[in-house]
Amino acid sequence: MTDTASKPGQTEVWITGIGLATSLGEGLDANWAALQEKRINVDEKGFAPYIVHPLMPVAFDSQIPKKGDQRQMEAWQRIGTYAAGLALDSAGIKGNKDILSKIDMVVAAGGGERDLNVDSGVLTAEAKGANAPGFLNERLMSDLRPTLFLAQLSNLLAGNIAIVHGLGGTSRTFMGEEVAGADAARIALARIASGESDIALVGGSHNGERKDLLVLYEFGDFNLKDKFAPVWARKDHAGFALGSAGAFLVLESKAHAEARGAKPYAKLSSVVADLARRKQPGDMAATLEKLWAKLPKREGKGAIITGATGAEPATSEERGFLKGHADFPVRSTGTVFGHAMETQFPLGIALAALSISRGALFPPNDSTGTEIEMQGAPTQIVVVGAGHWRGEGMALVEAV
């Protein structure tokens, strides 16, 4: 027995809270309204030639009341701590000490937000001849802010959420780009379904407005340059536009939710993930097919929400996979929100749950015909997340 797919357990798992802070705005109504209006928020100038989806400014004070807490975080942590607070609000458990003291957190995180001035200062000084053996040590000792480290550590997103919102259960941080978001949901679901946990906060956050990240992805020529286009229209102009976003979900056993009178947005029926070798063309599409087959039967009115990045060859492979399931209307979160890396999969689950709860899939936003209109209310939405380099995940979100 080697299947790591979380089986739809004895216990039904509901999504009872959603928190979103994105380039389209904060909260479910603002994001939903923007999706209806087909609004996209891109910055083509600030990081030119690179394109990013900047965070719509939020009043951090409303979820992170202490300025001291805000100062201890870098942007990615503030976005996440903020979105986590929205999710707790949405689930009606903000400040509920009994529940927060036992809630299990699984966070998908990157990290490493750097102090660009320190880095460029060192490189400039070295270019100008500083070459004493201890030069780097001395500059780092004097120039790095002591608390910056804590703003860089991956697990300190979870740490800040625990501190700011008073969470006292368990805390695990998964890393590994896109699929970390799928694995976070997969493990949280498996733990609740098996009775190991009653309630969990799951999600991630990402600051896409970072030149150090652009450098990292530029190594692989993954950044979208010059001109924005929907994900499906980037074949000859491949790449992703980094997006700033925080997306958190409260997952809860049906029994736990019912006992406290909480209403579900949807249920999370299954999350599966794998690592295609991606050595040969078709490897990734084959893995997506395998994951698709592992999901529970889809007999309802279905749709697909994908985090396809726009990077190649992954996006073309995924498009091939999607063509085999053309009866499912597709929506790309990458087009609208940009690529929020670890956060893209939780964002997809959030939008699936939101669409189901609002009785409609949001409209297409695509010039290539890959995304088609959907009539009626979706009852089953498959969330797809294939990493730009490695990692594939899939989830089934269903109407309760």
Partner 1 sequence: MTAPRDKFGRPVVVVTGMGIMTSLGAGKADNWAKLVAGESGIRTITRFPIDGLKTTMAGTVDFVSVDPFSSTALSERMAELVTQEALEQAGIGAKADFPGPLFLAVAPVEVEWPQRRELGRDVGQLDITYDDLLRISGGGKYSAYHHRFMFGSVAAHLAETFGTKGSPISLSTACASGATSIQLGVEAIRRGETDAALCVATDGTVNPEALVRFSLLSALSTQNNPPQAASRPFSKNRDGFVMAEGAGALVLESYEAATARGAKILGVIAGCGELTDSFHRTRSSPDGKPIIGCMNKTLADAGMTPDQIDHINAHGTSTPENDKMEFNTTSAVFGELAQKIPVTSNKSMVGHTISAAGAVEAIFSLLTLEHQRIPPTINYETPDPTILFNVVGNKARDARVTAVMSNSFGFGGQNASLILTREPA
- Residues between 87 and 146 that touch partner 1 (CB under 8 A): 105, 109-112, 114, 116, 119-120, 123-124, 126-128, 132-138, 140-141, 144-146
Strand partners, 20: 247
Q: How far is the CB of 11 from partner 1 (least distance, A)?
A: 12
Choice between 1 and 59, CB closer to partner 1:
1
Q: How far is the CB of 306 from partner 1 (least distance, A)?
A: 17
Which two structure tokens, joined as six digits, stand for 330?
């597709």
Where residue 316 falls (left for φ over 0; alpha for ψ -120 to 50; beta otherwise) is alpha
By the rule CB under 8 A, 59 interacts with partner 1: no
Choice between 242 and 399, CB closer to partner 1:
242
By the rule CB under 8 A, 275 interacts with partner 1: yes
Separation of alpha carbons 399 and 356, rounded Å? 6
By the rule CB under 8 A, 357 interacts with partner 1: no
Binds partner 1 by CB under 8 A, chosen from 76, 174, 240, 321: 174
Binds partner 1 by CB under 8 A, chosen from 7, 39, 235, 358: 7
What is the three-class DSSP state of 318? helix
Binds partner 1 by CB under 8 A, chosen from 13, 35, 75, 182: 182
Q: Are 252 and 268 in contact (CB under 8 A)?
A: no
Binds partner 1 by CB under 8 A, chosen from 34, 40, 87, 190: 190
By the rule CB under 8 A, 10 interacts with partner 1: no
**Residues in 13-52 at the binding interface with partner 1, rule: CB under 8 A:** 50
Choice between 33 and 136, CB closer to partner 1:
136
Mention every residue, 6+ apart, whose C-beta is less than 8 A from residue 369. none
By the rule CB under 8 A, 363 interacts with partner 1: no
Q: How many residues interact with partner 1 (rule CB under 8 A)?
A: 92
Q: Is it true that the peptide bond before 363 is cis, omega within 30 degrees of 0?
A: no
By the rule CB under 8 A, 187 interacts with partner 1: yes
By the rule CB under 8 A, 293 interacts with partner 1: no
Choice between 282 and 363, CB closer to partner 1:
282
Separation of alpha carbons 278 and 260, rounded Å? 46
Buried b (16+ CB within 10 A) or exposed e, 104-125: bbbbbbbbebbbeebeeebeee
Q: How far is the CB of 359 from partner 1 (least distance, A)?
A: 32
Separation of alpha carbons 118 and 145, rounded Å? 10
**Residues in 195-254 at the binding interface with partner 1, rule: CB under 8 A:** 196, 211-212, 214-223
The distance of Cα 29 from the centroid of its chain, to the nearest Å, equals: 19
Choice between 20 and 192, CB closer to partner 1:
192
Q: Are 104 and 199 in contact (CB under 8 A)?
A: yes
Choice between 37 and 212, CB closer to partner 1:
212
Choice between 148 and 360, CB closer to partner 1:
148
Binds partner 1 by CB under 8 A, chosen from 42, 175, 233, 400: 175
**Residues in 321-340 at the binding interface with partner 1, rule: CB under 8 A:** none
Q: How far is the CB of 235 from partner 1 (least distance, A)?
A: 19
Q: How far is the CB of 132 from partner 1 (least distance, A)?
A: 7
Separation of alpha carbons 40 and 59, rounded Å? 21
Choice between 19 and 387, CB closer to partner 1:
387
Choice between 176 and 329, CB closer to partner 1:
176
SS3 annotation, 195-263: CCCCEEEEEEEECCCCHHHHHHHHCCCCECECCCCCHHHCCCCCCECEECEEEEEEEEEHHHHHHCCCC
Q: Could you give the C-alpha distances from 317 to 177, 283, 325, 344, in angstroms and in order? A: 19, 9, 13, 18
By the rule CB under 8 A, 72 interacts with partner 1: yes
Separation of alpha carbons 34 and 41, rounded Å? 10
Q: How far is the CB of 135 from partner 1 (least distance, A)?
A: 8
